[in-house]
Copies of this chain bind each other. A is one copy, B any other.
């Protein structure tokens, strides 16, 4: 996600470091428990300067969610591009979900924990813009999964079932990991990826 963190502004912008500090705090201590002033202190920036980038803690959170959704979609597309075999493409898509840095894993956890924020309109214009964009990205990721499943069904590689329901089921399964995954914990990302690849192959099977 480093590329996205540095994307919007010039090299002197503090946006990237603010986002990185916020991901660390929200991911480790929880969004509710993090004081917005702590993030400002950590980055060494005043409240006024902070406001230039994010008008609220929620605005920053929605931005993190958006960036993680965009990164996740990008990983999916990079991993599956040009893979014509249905079963191989499914495996590549699953693997892309766990091909993440520790910071991306934290961002994925933050995203999962606050998905409900996307269902109700935000009071401010900037927050609402982030929310709308996040909703578009969620739908785009679901569409990518549905397309893989539909093509696999049409090609006879996967059993025929409702592709939308199937893609939502696979996404629930894949992202559920971020609830309990901790870097350095008992299960590594590669163990998880292997388990989930098998699980998804069985889910689309006969």
Contact = CB atoms under 8 A, between A and B. Distances in A.
Residues of A contacting B: mostly:
helix
A43 interface: no
Interface in A60-105: none
Interface residues of A, number: 35
Contacts of A173: 169, 172-173, 176
B113 A116 contact: yes
Contacts of A195: 161-162, 165, 169
Interface in A105-123: 109, 113-117, 119-120
A114 B179 CA distance: 11
A113 B169 CA distance: 17
A5 interface: no
Interface stretch (A13-21, A147-155, A197-205): A197-205
A33 interface: yes
18 contacts: A30-B117, A30-B120, A32-B117, A109-B116, A113-B115, A113-B116, A165-B195, A168-B177, A169-B173, A169-B195, A169-B199, A171-B176, A173-B173, A173-B176, A176-B176, A202-B202, A202-B205, A203-B203
